Structure 1
Protein backbone atom coordinates (compact mmCIF):
# COMPACT_ATOMS: atom_id res chain seq x y z
CA UNK A 1 0.00 0.00 0.00
CA UNK A 2 1.19 3.55 -0.74
CA UNK A 3 1.16 6.05 2.12
CA UNK A 4 0.03 9.65 1.63
CA UNK A 5 1.94 12.92 1.88
CA UNK A 6 0.31 16.28 2.62
CA UNK A 7 0.98 19.78 3.92
CA UNK A 8 -1.79 20.93 6.27
CA UNK A 9 -3.01 23.96 8.10
CA UNK A 10 -3.19 23.04 11.71
CA UNK A 11 -4.46 24.61 14.88
CA UNK A 12 -6.93 27.46 15.41
CA UNK A 13 -4.16 30.03 15.13
CA UNK A 14 -3.45 28.74 11.64
CA UNK A 15 -0.20 27.16 12.62
CA UNK A 16 1.19 25.31 9.60
CA UNK A 17 1.66 21.58 9.69
CA UNK A 18 3.92 19.71 7.34
CA UNK A 19 3.09 16.01 6.95
CA UNK A 20 5.27 14.62 4.19
CA UNK A 21 5.63 10.82 4.34
CA UNK A 22 5.94 10.90 0.59
CA UNK A 23 4.33 7.79 -0.80
CA UNK A 24 6.40 5.45 1.40
CA UNK A 25 5.79 1.89 0.32
CA UNK A 26 4.19 -0.54 2.74
CA UNK A 27 7.27 -2.73 2.86
CA UNK A 28 9.25 0.22 4.27
CA UNK A 29 8.27 -0.34 7.90
CA UNK A 30 10.26 2.66 9.15
CA UNK A 31 10.53 6.04 7.41
CA UNK A 32 11.13 9.66 8.37
CA UNK A 33 10.49 12.94 6.54
CA UNK A 34 11.69 16.28 7.90
CA UNK A 35 10.35 19.53 6.45
CA UNK A 36 11.40 23.16 6.91
CA UNK A 37 10.04 26.33 5.40
CA UNK A 38 8.19 29.56 5.99
CA UNK A 39 4.50 30.34 6.54
CA UNK A 40 2.47 33.52 6.05
CA UNK A 41 -0.25 33.45 8.72
CA UNK A 42 -2.59 35.74 10.72
CA UNK A 43 -0.92 37.28 13.77
CA UNK A 44 -3.67 35.75 15.95
CA UNK A 45 -6.86 33.80 15.32
CA UNK A 46 -9.27 36.26 13.71
CA UNK A 47 -6.63 38.88 12.88
CA UNK A 48 -6.42 40.89 9.66
CA UNK A 49 -2.68 41.43 10.20
CA UNK A 50 -0.19 38.84 8.95
CA UNK A 51 3.33 37.72 9.76
CA UNK A 52 5.93 35.33 8.38
CA UNK A 53 7.17 32.56 10.66
CA UNK A 54 9.57 29.63 10.20
CA UNK A 55 8.24 26.08 10.35
CA UNK A 56 9.89 22.74 11.14
CA UNK A 57 7.70 19.65 10.84
CA UNK A 58 8.09 15.86 10.66
CA UNK A 59 6.26 12.70 9.72
CA UNK A 60 7.31 9.08 9.82
CA UNK A 61 6.70 5.60 11.10
CA UNK A 62 8.60 3.16 13.25
CA UNK A 63 7.79 -0.51 12.66
CA UNK A 64 4.47 0.51 11.02
CA UNK A 65 3.43 2.85 13.87
CA UNK A 66 2.94 6.27 12.28
CA UNK A 67 3.49 9.71 13.82
CA UNK A 68 3.25 13.25 12.46
CA UNK A 69 3.24 16.87 13.53
CA UNK A 70 0.79 19.62 12.62
CA UNK A 71 2.22 22.93 13.65
CA UNK A 72 2.89 22.57 17.41
CA UNK A 73 0.75 19.39 17.64
CA UNK A 74 2.01 15.79 17.72
CA UNK A 75 -0.10 12.79 16.68
CA UNK A 76 0.85 9.14 17.22
CA UNK A 77 -1.16 6.38 15.54
CA UNK A 78 -1.25 3.43 17.96
CA UNK A 79 -2.63 1.02 15.32
CA UNK A 80 0.10 -0.36 13.02
CA UNK A 81 -0.58 0.11 9.32
CA UNK A 82 -0.26 -3.40 7.87
CA UNK A 83 -3.49 -3.76 5.89
CA UNK A 84 -2.69 -4.88 2.35
CA UNK A 85 -6.05 -3.80 0.90
CA UNK A 86 -5.31 -0.07 1.33
CA UNK A 87 -7.49 0.47 4.41
CA UNK A 88 -5.89 2.41 7.28
CA UNK A 89 -7.59 2.65 10.70
CA UNK A 90 -6.16 5.44 12.89
CA UNK A 91 -6.44 5.71 16.66
CA UNK A 92 -4.05 7.27 19.14
CA UNK A 93 -3.03 10.11 21.42
CA UNK A 94 -2.28 13.70 20.47
CA UNK A 95 -0.97 16.80 22.22
CA UNK A 96 -1.08 20.40 21.03
CA UNK A 97 0.57 23.54 22.42
CA UNK A 98 -1.52 26.64 21.67
CA UNK A 99 0.44 29.92 21.56
CA UNK A 100 -2.42 32.16 20.37
CA UNK A 101 -1.94 35.70 21.79
CA UNK A 102 0.66 34.37 24.24
CA UNK A 103 3.14 37.10 23.24
CA UNK A 104 2.54 40.80 22.68
CA UNK A 105 5.12 40.71 19.88
CA UNK A 106 2.83 38.45 17.87
CA UNK A 107 -0.17 40.80 18.13
CA UNK A 108 0.15 43.64 15.62
CA UNK A 109 -3.21 45.22 16.44
CA UNK A 110 -2.91 47.79 19.24
CA UNK A 111 -6.44 47.15 20.59
CA UNK A 112 -5.95 43.39 20.85
CA UNK A 113 -2.51 43.90 22.38
CA UNK A 114 -4.15 46.12 25.04
CA UNK A 115 -6.40 43.21 26.05
CA UNK A 116 -3.30 41.50 27.41
CA UNK A 117 -1.56 38.21 26.79
CA UNK A 118 -3.14 34.80 27.07
CA UNK A 119 -1.43 31.88 28.77
CA UNK A 120 0.00 29.06 26.68
CA UNK A 121 -2.51 26.20 26.51
CA UNK A 122 -1.46 22.54 26.45
CA UNK A 123 -4.23 20.48 24.90
CA UNK A 124 -4.08 16.71 25.44
CA UNK A 125 -6.45 14.21 23.87
CA UNK A 126 -6.78 11.69 21.09
CA UNK A 127 -7.96 11.10 17.56
CA UNK A 128 -9.71 8.47 15.47
CA UNK A 129 -9.82 8.18 11.72
CA UNK A 130 -10.04 5.98 8.66
CA UNK A 131 -8.29 6.21 5.31
CA UNK A 132 -8.45 4.34 2.01
CA UNK A 133 -5.77 4.18 -0.68
CA UNK A 134 -6.86 3.56 -4.26
CA UNK A 135 -10.21 5.37 -4.38
CA UNK A 136 -10.82 7.53 -7.46
CA UNK A 137 -7.98 8.41 -9.81
CA UNK A 138 -5.47 5.58 -9.37
CA UNK A 139 -4.25 2.83 -7.08
CA UNK A 140 -2.29 5.44 -5.14
CA UNK A 141 -4.72 8.26 -4.31
CA UNK A 142 -5.92 8.50 -0.71
CA UNK A 143 -9.13 9.66 0.97
CA UNK A 144 -9.27 9.92 4.75
CA UNK A 145 -11.40 11.34 7.54
CA UNK A 146 -10.28 12.10 11.10
CA UNK A 147 -11.64 13.64 14.30
CA UNK A 148 -9.38 14.89 17.11
CA UNK A 149 -10.59 15.87 20.59
CA UNK A 150 -8.30 17.63 23.09
CA UNK A 151 -8.67 19.43 26.43
CA UNK A 152 -6.45 22.13 27.91
CA UNK A 153 -4.59 20.75 30.94
CA UNK A 154 -2.34 23.79 31.55
CA UNK A 155 -5.04 26.02 33.07
CA UNK A 156 -5.23 28.50 30.18
CA UNK A 157 -8.64 28.34 28.49
CA UNK A 158 -9.51 25.12 30.44
CA UNK A 159 -11.88 24.04 27.68
CA UNK A 160 -11.86 21.52 24.85
CA UNK A 161 -11.52 21.63 21.08
CA UNK A 162 -12.95 19.16 18.53
CA UNK A 163 -11.34 19.17 15.06
CA UNK A 164 -12.91 17.08 12.26
CA UNK A 165 -11.18 16.93 8.86
CA UNK A 166 -11.49 15.25 5.47
CA UNK A 167 -8.40 14.95 3.26
CA UNK A 168 -7.80 13.83 -0.29
CA UNK A 169 -4.43 13.39 -1.99
CA UNK A 170 -3.56 12.13 -5.44
CA UNK A 171 -0.26 11.75 -7.30
CA UNK A 172 -0.09 13.37 -10.72
CA UNK A 173 3.11 11.50 -11.54
CA UNK A 174 6.01 9.80 -9.76
CA UNK A 175 7.36 13.26 -8.93
CA UNK A 176 4.26 15.42 -8.29
CA UNK A 177 1.19 15.32 -6.04
CA UNK A 178 -1.71 17.57 -5.05
CA UNK A 179 -4.03 17.42 -2.06
CA UNK A 180 -7.09 19.07 -0.55
CA UNK A 181 -7.98 19.35 3.14
CA UNK A 182 -11.43 20.39 4.44
CA UNK A 183 -11.61 21.06 8.17
CA UNK A 184 -13.64 22.61 10.96
CA UNK A 185 -13.09 23.51 14.61
CA UNK A 186 -15.65 23.16 17.41
CA UNK A 187 -14.84 24.92 20.69
CA UNK A 188 -16.20 24.76 24.23
CA UNK A 189 -17.76 27.65 26.18
CA UNK A 190 -14.57 28.16 28.20
CA UNK A 191 -12.50 28.43 25.03
CA UNK A 192 -14.87 31.05 23.64
CA UNK A 193 -14.84 33.11 26.84
CA UNK A 194 -11.05 33.03 27.13
CA UNK A 195 -10.12 34.11 23.61
CA UNK A 196 -13.14 36.04 22.29
CA UNK A 197 -15.00 37.75 25.14
CA UNK A 198 -14.09 41.35 26.06
CA UNK A 199 -14.88 42.37 29.67
CA UNK A 200 -15.33 45.92 30.98
CA UNK A 201 -11.67 46.27 31.96
CA UNK A 202 -10.55 45.02 28.56
CA UNK A 203 -12.92 47.39 26.79
CA UNK A 204 -11.61 50.35 28.78
CA UNK A 205 -8.00 49.43 27.98
CA UNK A 206 -8.50 48.62 24.30
CA UNK A 207 -11.36 50.80 23.11
CA UNK A 208 -13.20 47.70 21.88
CA UNK A 209 -16.84 47.23 22.93
CA UNK A 210 -17.78 44.88 25.77
CA UNK A 211 -18.68 41.43 24.45
CA UNK A 212 -19.77 38.40 26.49
CA UNK A 213 -21.56 36.10 24.02
CA UNK A 214 -18.64 33.95 22.84
CA UNK A 215 -18.95 31.71 25.90
CA UNK A 216 -22.72 31.32 25.86
CA UNK A 217 -22.46 27.77 24.53
CA UNK A 218 -20.10 25.51 22.62
CA UNK A 219 -20.13 25.82 18.84
CA UNK A 220 -18.25 25.68 15.57
CA UNK A 221 -15.54 28.31 15.53
CA UNK A 222 -14.39 28.13 11.91
CA UNK A 223 -14.36 26.10 8.70
CA UNK A 224 -11.56 26.01 6.17
CA UNK A 225 -10.02 24.52 3.05
CA UNK A 226 -6.36 24.01 2.19
CA UNK A 227 -4.77 23.13 -1.16
CA UNK A 228 -1.27 21.66 -1.22
CA UNK A 229 1.14 20.52 -3.89
CA UNK A 230 4.54 18.85 -3.90
CA UNK A 231 7.32 18.28 -6.41
CA UNK A 232 10.19 15.83 -5.99
CA UNK A 233 13.70 17.10 -6.65
CA UNK A 234 15.15 13.60 -6.66
CA UNK A 235 12.81 12.06 -9.24
CA UNK A 236 10.86 9.98 -6.71
CA UNK A 237 8.48 11.30 -4.04
CA UNK A 238 9.26 8.29 -1.84
CA UNK A 239 12.80 9.42 -1.09
CA UNK A 240 15.16 12.37 -1.24
CA UNK A 241 14.35 16.07 -1.52
CA UNK A 242 10.99 17.60 -2.43
CA UNK A 243 9.44 21.08 -2.59
CA UNK A 244 6.00 21.82 -1.13
CA UNK A 245 3.59 24.74 -1.40
CA UNK A 246 0.32 25.46 0.41
CA UNK A 247 -2.56 27.93 0.18
CA UNK A 248 -5.47 27.95 2.60
CA UNK A 249 -8.60 29.87 3.53
CA UNK A 250 -10.80 29.67 6.63
CA UNK A 251 -13.78 31.68 7.86
CA UNK A 252 -14.65 32.48 11.44
CA UNK A 253 -18.22 31.59 12.41
CA UNK A 254 -21.07 32.62 14.67
CA UNK A 255 -20.39 34.21 18.06
CA UNK A 256 -16.64 33.93 17.51
CA UNK A 257 -16.83 35.97 14.30
CA UNK A 258 -19.04 38.54 16.06
CA UNK A 259 -16.44 39.15 18.77
CA UNK A 260 -14.83 42.62 18.53
CA UNK A 261 -11.47 40.83 18.45
CA UNK A 262 -12.54 39.63 14.99
CA UNK A 263 -15.33 41.93 13.74
CA UNK A 264 -13.72 45.24 14.80
CA UNK A 265 -9.98 44.59 15.16
CA UNK A 266 -9.68 41.70 12.73
CA UNK A 267 -11.50 39.84 9.96
CA UNK A 268 -13.72 36.78 9.53
CA UNK A 269 -11.63 35.82 6.50
CA UNK A 270 -8.36 34.09 7.33
CA UNK A 271 -5.65 33.24 4.79
CA UNK A 272 -2.47 31.21 4.97
CA UNK A 273 0.36 30.43 2.58
CA UNK A 274 3.56 28.44 2.89
CA UNK A 275 6.61 27.19 1.02
CA UNK A 276 8.86 24.44 2.24
CA UNK A 277 11.40 21.78 1.43
CA UNK A 278 11.43 18.26 2.82
CA UNK A 279 13.76 15.28 2.85
CA UNK A 280 12.61 11.66 3.13
CA UNK A 281 15.01 9.09 4.55
Structure 2
Protein backbone atom coordinates (compact mmCIF):
# COMPACT_ATOMS: atom_id res chain seq x y z
CA UNK A 1 0.00 0.00 0.00
CA UNK A 2 1.40 3.36 -0.91
CA UNK A 3 0.78 7.04 -1.19
CA UNK A 4 -0.86 7.65 -4.52
CA UNK A 5 1.38 8.66 -7.33
CA UNK A 6 -0.93 11.20 -8.62
CA UNK A 7 -3.94 12.92 -7.62
CA UNK A 8 -5.44 11.33 -10.64
CA UNK A 9 -8.40 13.58 -10.49
CA UNK A 10 -7.85 9.11 -12.19
CA UNK A 11 -6.16 10.42 -13.69
CA UNK A 12 -4.35 11.67 -14.43
CA UNK A 13 -4.77 15.52 -12.94
CA UNK A 14 -2.55 14.71 -10.10
CA UNK A 15 -5.20 12.80 -8.19
CA UNK A 16 -3.74 9.52 -8.74
CA UNK A 17 -6.73 7.53 -9.15
CA UNK A 18 -4.68 5.50 -10.26
CA UNK A 19 -3.81 3.30 -10.24
CA UNK A 20 -6.19 4.12 -13.06
CA UNK A 21 -5.88 5.03 -16.69
CA UNK A 22 -6.12 8.63 -15.67
CA UNK A 23 -3.00 9.68 -17.48
CA UNK A 24 -3.97 8.56 -21.02
CA UNK A 25 -7.60 9.54 -20.50
CA UNK A 26 -6.80 13.00 -19.18
CA UNK A 27 -4.28 13.52 -21.95
CA UNK A 28 -6.90 12.76 -24.60
CA UNK A 29 -9.36 15.12 -22.94
CA UNK A 30 -7.01 18.06 -22.41
CA UNK A 31 -5.20 17.75 -25.73
CA UNK A 32 -8.54 17.96 -27.49
CA UNK A 33 -9.40 20.87 -25.21
CA UNK A 34 -6.57 23.00 -26.61
CA UNK A 35 -7.87 25.61 -29.09
CA UNK A 36 -6.91 24.59 -32.61
CA UNK A 37 -5.66 28.05 -33.58
CA UNK A 38 -3.30 28.04 -30.56
CA UNK A 39 -1.78 24.71 -31.60
CA UNK A 40 -1.45 25.83 -35.23
CA UNK A 41 0.14 29.10 -34.19
CA UNK A 42 2.76 27.31 -32.08
CA UNK A 43 3.40 24.75 -34.85
CA UNK A 44 4.26 27.58 -37.19
CA UNK A 45 6.65 29.02 -34.58
CA UNK A 46 8.63 25.84 -34.06
CA UNK A 47 6.22 23.01 -33.29
CA UNK A 48 6.06 23.53 -29.52
CA UNK A 49 2.72 23.65 -27.72
CA UNK A 50 1.02 22.19 -24.70
CA UNK A 51 -1.23 22.60 -21.72
CA UNK A 52 -0.48 23.01 -18.01
CA UNK A 53 -2.94 22.53 -15.13
CA UNK A 54 -2.32 23.75 -11.58
CA UNK A 55 -4.75 23.46 -8.70
CA UNK A 56 -5.64 21.59 -5.52
CA UNK A 57 -7.52 18.46 -4.60
CA UNK A 58 -8.17 15.83 -1.98
CA UNK A 59 -7.25 12.13 -1.81
CA UNK A 60 -6.83 9.35 0.75
CA UNK A 61 -3.83 9.65 3.07
CA UNK A 62 -2.49 6.41 1.62
CA UNK A 63 -4.01 3.89 -0.74
CA UNK A 64 -6.58 2.04 1.35
CA UNK A 65 -6.86 4.73 4.05
CA UNK A 66 -10.10 6.04 5.49
CA UNK A 67 -8.52 9.45 6.21
CA UNK A 68 -8.16 12.12 3.52
CA UNK A 69 -5.71 14.94 2.94
CA UNK A 70 -5.43 18.01 0.72
CA UNK A 71 -2.81 17.76 -2.02
CA UNK A 72 -1.48 19.97 -4.82
CA UNK A 73 -2.57 19.26 -8.37
CA UNK A 74 -0.07 19.31 -11.22
CA UNK A 75 -0.47 18.20 -14.81
CA UNK A 76 1.36 19.14 -18.01
CA UNK A 77 1.28 17.82 -21.56
CA UNK A 78 3.92 19.29 -23.88
CA UNK A 79 4.49 18.48 -27.55
CA UNK A 80 7.54 19.38 -29.64
CA UNK A 81 9.51 17.87 -32.54
CA UNK A 82 7.09 14.98 -32.91
CA UNK A 83 7.33 13.90 -29.26
CA UNK A 84 4.99 14.39 -26.32
CA UNK A 85 6.00 14.79 -22.67
CA UNK A 86 3.29 14.21 -20.07
CA UNK A 87 3.90 15.07 -16.41
CA UNK A 88 1.29 14.05 -13.88
CA UNK A 89 2.43 14.65 -10.33
CA UNK A 90 5.51 12.47 -9.68
CA UNK A 91 5.10 10.46 -12.88
CA UNK A 92 6.29 11.37 -16.39
CA UNK A 93 5.77 9.67 -19.75
CA UNK A 94 7.39 10.29 -23.13
CA UNK A 95 4.90 9.76 -25.96
CA UNK A 96 6.80 8.68 -29.06
CA UNK A 97 3.75 9.07 -31.35
CA UNK A 98 1.57 11.86 -29.89
CA UNK A 99 -0.17 12.65 -33.18
CA UNK A 100 -0.99 9.05 -34.15
CA UNK A 101 -3.93 6.82 -33.30
CA UNK A 102 -1.59 4.24 -31.77
CA UNK A 103 0.60 5.83 -29.10
CA UNK A 104 3.26 4.40 -26.82
CA UNK A 105 6.37 5.30 -24.88
CA UNK A 106 8.45 4.91 -21.71
CA UNK A 107 7.38 6.11 -18.24
CA UNK A 108 9.13 6.86 -14.96
CA UNK A 109 7.55 7.34 -11.55
CA UNK A 110 8.33 8.18 -7.95
CA UNK A 111 6.32 6.62 -5.15
CA UNK A 112 6.53 8.41 -1.80
CA UNK A 113 6.12 5.22 0.22
CA UNK A 114 4.34 5.06 3.57
CA UNK A 115 5.63 6.78 6.68
CA UNK A 116 4.14 9.23 9.16
CA UNK A 117 0.50 8.52 8.26
CA UNK A 118 -2.35 10.16 10.15
CA UNK A 119 -3.56 6.69 11.24
CA UNK A 120 -1.59 5.86 14.39
CA UNK A 121 -2.14 2.09 14.07
CA UNK A 122 -0.92 1.94 10.47
CA UNK A 123 1.96 4.25 11.38
CA UNK A 124 3.29 1.50 13.69
CA UNK A 125 3.72 -0.88 10.75
CA UNK A 126 7.02 -1.28 8.89
CA UNK A 127 8.10 1.89 7.13
CA UNK A 128 7.96 1.75 3.33
CA UNK A 129 10.66 3.81 1.61
CA UNK A 130 10.11 5.88 -1.50
CA UNK A 131 10.38 3.84 -4.71
CA UNK A 132 11.53 4.68 -8.21
CA UNK A 133 9.67 2.89 -11.00
CA UNK A 134 10.18 2.58 -14.74
CA UNK A 135 7.96 1.12 -17.40
CA UNK A 136 5.85 2.15 -20.31
CA UNK A 137 2.38 2.70 -21.72
CA UNK A 138 0.43 2.07 -24.91
CA UNK A 139 -2.87 3.54 -26.07
CA UNK A 140 -5.10 3.52 -29.13
CA UNK A 141 -7.55 6.32 -29.91
CA UNK A 142 -10.71 6.07 -32.00
CA UNK A 143 -12.01 9.45 -33.14
CA UNK A 144 -15.52 10.46 -34.23
CA UNK A 145 -17.23 7.21 -33.26
CA UNK A 146 -20.58 8.62 -32.16
CA UNK A 147 -20.01 12.32 -32.83
CA UNK A 148 -17.49 14.41 -34.70
CA UNK A 149 -15.96 15.74 -31.48
CA UNK A 150 -15.60 12.50 -29.50
CA UNK A 151 -12.55 10.34 -28.73
CA UNK A 152 -12.62 6.77 -27.39
CA UNK A 153 -9.35 5.41 -26.06
CA UNK A 154 -8.10 2.07 -24.75
CA UNK A 155 -4.84 2.05 -22.83
CA UNK A 156 -2.41 -0.05 -20.80
CA UNK A 157 0.46 0.78 -18.46
CA UNK A 158 3.09 -1.36 -16.73
CA UNK A 159 5.58 -0.13 -14.11
CA UNK A 160 8.41 -1.99 -12.32
CA UNK A 161 10.36 -1.05 -9.20
CA UNK A 162 14.07 -0.37 -9.81
CA UNK A 163 14.94 0.85 -6.30
CA UNK A 164 14.58 -2.41 -4.36
CA UNK A 165 11.61 -1.23 -2.29
CA UNK A 166 8.98 -3.73 -3.42
CA UNK A 167 10.80 -5.41 -6.34
CA UNK A 168 7.47 -5.93 -8.07
CA UNK A 169 5.37 -4.67 -10.95
CA UNK A 170 2.01 -2.95 -11.19
CA UNK A 171 -0.13 -1.84 -14.07
CA UNK A 172 -3.57 -1.06 -15.40
CA UNK A 173 -5.89 -1.62 -18.35
CA UNK A 174 -8.41 1.09 -19.09
CA UNK A 175 -10.81 2.76 -21.47
CA UNK A 176 -12.00 6.36 -21.70
CA UNK A 177 -14.48 8.41 -23.67
CA UNK A 178 -14.34 12.18 -24.22
CA UNK A 179 -17.02 14.30 -25.85
CA UNK A 180 -17.07 17.97 -26.82
CA UNK A 181 -20.45 19.25 -25.67
CA UNK A 182 -19.73 22.72 -27.04
CA UNK A 183 -16.65 24.51 -28.37
CA UNK A 184 -15.77 25.46 -24.80
CA UNK A 185 -17.03 22.53 -22.71
CA UNK A 186 -15.69 18.97 -22.84
CA UNK A 187 -16.70 16.02 -20.70
CA UNK A 188 -14.80 12.79 -20.21
CA UNK A 189 -15.18 9.53 -18.32
CA UNK A 190 -12.98 6.49 -17.85
CA UNK A 191 -12.80 3.07 -16.25
CA UNK A 192 -9.73 1.02 -15.39
CA UNK A 193 -8.64 -2.21 -13.73
CA UNK A 194 -5.38 -2.25 -11.76
CA UNK A 195 -3.21 -5.28 -11.02
CA UNK A 196 0.05 -5.97 -9.20
CA UNK A 197 2.54 -8.74 -8.50
CA UNK A 198 2.98 -10.70 -5.25
CA UNK A 199 5.93 -8.66 -3.99
CA UNK A 200 4.20 -5.36 -4.70
CA UNK A 201 0.99 -6.41 -2.95
CA UNK A 202 2.74 -7.88 0.09
CA UNK A 203 4.87 -4.74 0.53
CA UNK A 204 1.95 -2.33 0.58
CA UNK A 205 -0.88 -4.51 1.91
CA UNK A 206 0.90 -7.18 3.95
CA UNK A 207 1.51 -7.07 7.70
CA UNK A 208 4.77 -8.60 8.99
CA UNK A 209 5.01 -10.35 12.34
CA UNK A 210 6.91 -7.38 13.72
CA UNK A 211 4.33 -4.96 12.40
CA UNK A 212 1.55 -7.09 13.86
CA UNK A 213 3.08 -7.03 17.34
CA UNK A 214 3.54 -3.26 17.26
CA UNK A 215 0.15 -2.36 15.75
CA UNK A 216 -2.18 -5.05 17.05
CA UNK A 217 -3.24 -5.94 13.51
CA UNK A 218 -3.21 -9.56 12.39
CA UNK A 219 -0.15 -10.73 10.45
CA UNK A 220 -1.06 -10.98 6.77
CA UNK A 221 0.56 -11.98 3.49
CA UNK A 222 -0.95 -10.41 0.38
CA UNK A 223 -0.77 -12.14 -2.99
CA UNK A 224 -0.74 -10.64 -6.47
CA UNK A 225 -3.60 -10.28 -8.90
CA UNK A 226 -6.31 -7.73 -9.58
CA UNK A 227 -5.86 -4.82 -7.17
CA UNK A 228 -8.69 -2.41 -7.89
CA UNK A 229 -11.28 -1.10 -10.33
CA UNK A 230 -11.60 2.64 -10.87
CA UNK A 231 -14.02 5.16 -12.35
CA UNK A 232 -13.39 8.81 -13.11
CA UNK A 233 -15.03 11.84 -14.69
CA UNK A 234 -13.45 15.05 -15.98
CA UNK A 235 -14.97 18.36 -17.11
CA UNK A 236 -12.97 21.13 -18.78
CA UNK A 237 -14.20 24.58 -19.79
CA UNK A 238 -12.30 27.14 -21.86
CA UNK A 239 -12.91 30.56 -20.33
CA UNK A 240 -10.72 32.27 -22.94
CA UNK A 241 -8.62 31.09 -25.86
CA UNK A 242 -5.80 30.02 -23.54
CA UNK A 243 -7.20 29.90 -20.01
CA UNK A 244 -9.65 27.32 -18.69
CA UNK A 245 -10.96 25.41 -15.69
CA UNK A 246 -10.61 21.66 -15.18
CA UNK A 247 -12.43 19.59 -12.54
CA UNK A 248 -12.27 15.91 -11.81
CA UNK A 249 -13.76 13.32 -9.46
CA UNK A 250 -12.72 9.71 -9.07
CA UNK A 251 -13.64 6.53 -7.26
CA UNK A 252 -11.74 3.26 -6.91
CA UNK A 253 -12.65 0.03 -5.16
CA UNK A 254 -9.87 -2.15 -3.79
CA UNK A 255 -10.32 -5.84 -4.59
CA UNK A 256 -8.82 -9.22 -3.77
CA UNK A 257 -5.98 -9.39 -1.26
CA UNK A 258 -5.78 -5.59 -1.15
CA UNK A 259 -9.35 -5.31 0.14
CA UNK A 260 -8.86 -8.26 2.53
CA UNK A 261 -5.78 -6.73 4.16
CA UNK A 262 -6.31 -5.84 7.85
CA UNK A 263 -4.81 -2.45 7.01
CA UNK A 264 -7.85 -1.82 4.84
CA UNK A 265 -10.52 -3.88 6.64
CA UNK A 266 -9.68 -2.76 10.18
CA UNK A 267 -8.13 0.69 9.80
CA UNK A 268 -9.01 1.87 6.31
CA UNK A 269 -11.58 1.51 3.55
CA UNK A 270 -11.77 -0.38 0.28
CA UNK A 271 -13.70 2.58 -1.16
CA UNK A 272 -11.34 5.34 -2.27
CA UNK A 273 -12.52 8.77 -3.43
CA UNK A 274 -10.64 11.69 -4.95
CA UNK A 275 -11.41 15.05 -6.49
CA UNK A 276 -9.88 18.35 -7.45
CA UNK A 277 -10.06 21.50 -9.51
CA UNK A 278 -7.43 23.45 -11.38
CA UNK A 279 -6.69 26.28 -13.77
CA UNK A 280 -5.44 25.29 -17.24
CA UNK A 281 -3.27 27.29 -19.62
CA UNK A 282 -2.75 26.36 -23.28
CA UNK A 283 0.25 27.64 -25.22
1:134 to 135, 144, 169: 144
CA distance in 2 between counterparts of 1:162 and 1:145 reads 14
For the structure 1 residues 73 and 11, does the alpha-carbon distance in structure 2 shift closer, same or farther, using more than 3 Å as the test?
A: farther
Measure how far apart 1:184 and its partner are. 1.6
TM-score by length of 1: 0.86
Query: Are residue 186 (structure 1) and residue 171 (structure 2) matched?
Result: no
Return the structure number with greater relative CO, CA threshold 8 A, min gap 6.
2
Q: Do residues 171 (structure 1) and 180 (structure 2) align?
A: yes
Match in the other structure for 1:56: 74
Which residue does 2:91 correspond to in 1?
A: 73
| Aligned pair partner of 1:121 in 112, 124, 131 | 131
| Residue deviations 1:89-125 (CA, integer Å, cap 9, x gap) | 1111011111141x31xx1111111113211111101
Query: How far has the Cα of 1:11 moved from its partner?
Result: 5.7
Question: Hey, which of these two has a bigger chunk of helix by percent?
Answer: 2
1:3 alignment counterpart: none
Q: Is residue 2:100 matched to residue 1:98?
A: no
Does 2:279 align with 1:277?
yes
Quote the RMSD (CA, aligned, Å).
Answer: 2.1
| TM alignment of 1:18-37, pairs within 5 A | 19=27, 20-21=30-31, 22-23=33-34, 25=36, 27=40, 28=43, 29-37=47-55
8 Å Cα contact 1:24-1:31 kept in structure 2 = no
* Kept in 1: contact 2:178–2:188 (CA 8 A): yes
The whole-number CA distance in structure 2 between the counterparts of 1:261 and 1:12 is 19
Please say if residues 19 and 171 of structure 2, whose CA atoms lie closer than 8 Å, have aligned partners that are also in contact: no
Give the structure-2-normalised TM-score. Answer: 0.86
- Is the Cα contact below 8 Å between 1:13 and 1:100 reproduced in 2? no
Per-residue deviation, 1:12: 4.6
Unaligned runs of 5+ in 1: 1-5
Cα distance in 1 for residues equivalent to 2:16 and 2:82? 24
Separation of aligned partners in 2, 1:154 and 1:275? 33
Where 2:121 maps in the other structure, the secondary structure is helix
- Please say if 1:223 is aligned against 2:229: yes
Matches within 5 A, 1:122-271: 122-136=132-146, 138-212=147-221, 214-215=222-223, 218-234=224-240, 239-271=241-273
Q: Which moved more, 1:24-33 or 1:49-58?
A: 24-33
- Contact between 2:244 and 2:280, CA under 8 Å: does it hold in 1? yes
